[in-house]
Amino acid sequence: MKHCGAGMVVLFSGLLALSAAQAAVVCVSTANGIQSALTNAVANGQNDTINIVAGTYSLSAALAFDSTEAHSLALVGGWNNGCTINSGDDTILDGQHLVPLLDLTNLNGSITVANLTFVAGRTEAALEAVVQVVSNTGTIFIDRNTFLGNRSVNGNGALTAYADAGGVHVRGNLVVGNRGALLGNVAVGHGGGESYVTGNTILNNTTDTAGQAGGLTVGSSGHFTISNNIIWGNAGATGSDFSTAVPHSRFSNDIGLIGSGTVAPDQVVGEQYVDPQFEPCGLLCFVYELSRNSPLVDAGTDAPAGGQPAVDLVGKPRKLGLHVDIGAYENEFIFADGFEP
């Protein structure tokens, strides 16, 4: 067994110190604090994580970040005061039907946006979405967020996520009741990387443009895989739920109406066209968990390409029954004998 000499120990200690110095983690609890942290992260030479305390943040302008550094950015909601525990409680960015919500560009680094709720955002700029996330060489992760009641007057709906070589992962999100002028309320683009859309519930969104997809649109080039998604009720009178001109594969999705111009997939396995059958939860409830009898329970792919978060949108283990459920929620009724309360 070899042992490190004194010089090697000093070198190793120096590398640890350098690694620690290159990572910045901050805890914020005000809208101004979020923007200040984003501004500081633009050129600080570090990988930045901005943890946001749970609560409601009314915005007067979009939270913005634009950097060319080769460092990552993570924006994560759901933290307790002091950011010692991620409670998973709602962290709401509210545009008050006046302003867009998030505009992140990190050309040479990865971006993670997780555990946030985007509500009542509005943008009138051409081709823009209420939430925009862009990278070039980095990878984008949009994990376990909620997009609710947002409006893009001249753009692509609630979310546009574009990465060139790095690819995009959109996983475990709820997208409901948003309206876009042009394409889908989730618009994913990539310039050659592999991208993944996994375990989302995209429901009852609309587009103003006849013939376009109101739910999910994937553009640009490269290849992508969609797995375990509910994409339902987004077609309107003349549109569709999903469309793409990009090579792709589909595994265990429930898709209402596929656009007429969509290219044929490489593979289609376990695809359904059925009413999802959500559990009733009240007039002002925006939780779309599946009912026990839904055909989408235990119907998902357990190990989807591109991976998936360990928990569903409300923090339950991603697999509670025989298989993963389709959509953003995992059904907790795991017994089949009919005697449970």
Mean pLDDT of the chain: 90
- Contact between 175 and 202 under an 8 Å Cβ cutoff? The reply is yes
Q: Is 174 exposed, middle or buried, given 0-12, 13-18 or 19+ CB atoms closer than 10 A?
A: buried
pLDDT score recorded for residue 165 = 87
The pTM (predicted TM-score) of the whole model is 0.91
CA-to-CA distance for 331 and 334, rounded, in angstroms? 7
3-class DSSP state of 143: strand
Average pLDDT over residues 62-83: 98
Over the stretch 210-241, which tens digit does the pLDDT of each residue have? 999 999 999 888 899 999 999 999 998 889 99
Instruction: Name the 3-class secondary structure at 122.
Output: strand
pLDDT at 16 over 90: no
Residue 201's φ and ψ, nearest 5 degrees, are -115, 110
The answer to whether residue 341 scores a pLDDT higher than 80 is: no
Task: Tell me the mean pLDDT in the region 298-325.
Answer: 96
CA-atom Rg of the chain in angstroms? 21
Structure confidence at residue 68 (pLDDT): 97
pLDDT band of 334, cuts 50, 70, 90 = low
Query: Does 9 score more than 80 pLDDT?
Result: no
14-26 mean pLDDT? 60
Residue 192, pLDDT score: 81
CB 299 within 8 A of CB 323: yes
Name which of 49, 74, 307 is nearest 195 in CA terms. 307
pLDDT at position 220 is 83
